[in-house]
Structure 1
Amino acid sequence: MTISMYQASIPVSIRTLNNLVSILEKGATYAETKKIDPSVLINSRLSPDMFPLSKQVQIASDIVNRGAARLAGIEPTQFEDNETTFPQLIDRIHQTISGLNTFKPEQIDGSEERTITLKLGDKTIDFQGMPFLLSFVLPNLYFHVTTAYDILRHCGVELGKQDFLGQP
């Protein structure tokens, strides 16, 4: 049995983003229950030189949104990166999932060797589709979702491994 580029990208990204929504909902509930200003959690970071929770969520959203569009050979939807509340962050993830749900397998499948050029700062990096997905998009998605999880866990939100993995 083989796995297609679509199967390796879209359903996996949607599942991970849905898990992130659940993690954020637990963060919002924790803030409300403990009477903590939600902005404290949203602006928390693991280290002074790391991005806060809000940016971790925005990057997770952007990486799969832009990744899927590049694999499909189309322009990605742009987000403003102006979310400051849990409901806004959750809504952004829902918008990203809605966008991912519009992709059809035939748009993504066959992109294994498509040349994808990224401008990262002052560098330009060329990828072929499969390495782009497997060594750039998915690792970045997992990194930023894990970091969002870790920030909330560090702040005291009761999260466990199953929150990250989701239900089978």
Structure 2
Amino acid sequence: MTLSMYQASVPVFLRALHNLQHVLRKGEAHAEARKYEPSLLLQSRLTPDMLPLTRQVQIATDMAKNGCARLAGVEPLKFEDNETSFTELHARIERAIEYIKNFKADQIDGSETREITLKMRTGEQHFEGQGYLLHFVLPNLFFHCTTAYAILREAGADLGKPDFIGKP
């Protein structure tokens, strides 16, 4: 049996975003239990030259929603990147999840060779669909989800590997 582009993308993206939301809830609960302003965590970073928690979540959701759209050959839904609270980040993740759920297998399957061009700060990057999914979207999605997890874990949130991995 072969793995389709849809199976390798949509369910993986949805699980990653659900797990990210779970991790954020635990981080927010940690701040509330310690009686400090939860929004302090939103600007936390692992090192001064890394992006803060809010931006990690924004990029993770962009990777998933934009990945689906580009594999399906449609223009990605734009988000404003203006979240300033956990409530707004949760709403962003929910919007991304609902958007991703609307993609059907027949839109994404067969996209292995679809030409995808990204305009980056460093210039254009050209991909075929399968390479885009396997070598750009998935690594970036998991990098930013992992970094969000690490920021919250470093801040003292009661998180472990099962929180990141989630339930099968």
TM-score normalized with structure 2 length: 0.99
What displacement does 1:161 show? 0.3
1:123 equivalent to 2:138? Answer: no
Q: CA deviation at 1:101?
A: 0.2
Give 1:39 deviation, angstroms.
Answer: 1.5
| Identical pairs, percent | 57
Deviation at 1:122, TM superposition (A): 3.6
Tell me the distance in 2 between the aligned counterparts of 1:38 and 1:29.
8
The CA RMSD measured in Å over matched residues stands at: 0.6
Alignment match, 2:23: 23
Mapped to 1, the partners of 2:156 and 2:33 lie a distance apart of 12
Q: How many correspondences in the alignment? A: 168
Letter in 1 for 2:55: K
| DSSP-derived class of the 1:124 partner | strand
Work out whether 1:39 is the aligned partner of 2:34.
no
1:79: Cα distance to partner? Answer: 0.5
Residue 130 (structure 1) shift = 0.1
**Contiguous gaps of at least 5 residues in structure 1:** none
Q: Deviations over 1:6-30 (max 9, x none)?
A: 0000000000100000000001111
| Unaligned 5+ runs, structure 2 | none
Residue 90 (1) aligns with residue 93 (2): no
Secondary structure of the equivalent of 1:65? helix
Segments of 4+ moved more than 2 angstroms: none
Answering whether residue 151 of structure 2 is matched by residue 151 of structure 1, we say: yes
> Which residue in the other structure is 2:134 paired with?
134
Per-residue CA deviation, residues 108-163 of structure 1 (Å, 9 max, x unaligned), is: 00000000001111411110000000000000000000000000000000100000
Q: Structure 1 CA distance, aligned partners of 2:112 and 2:29?
A: 41
Alignment correspondent of 2:166: 166
The two structures have a TM-score, normalised by structure 1, of 0.99
Between the aligned partners of 2:96 and 2:44, the Cα distance in structure 1 is: 23
SS at 1:100 equivalent: helix
Q: Per the alignment, in what secondary structure is the counterpart of residue 126 of structure 1? A: strand
Q: Could you tell me which amino acid in structure 1 is paired with residue 84 of structure 2? A: T
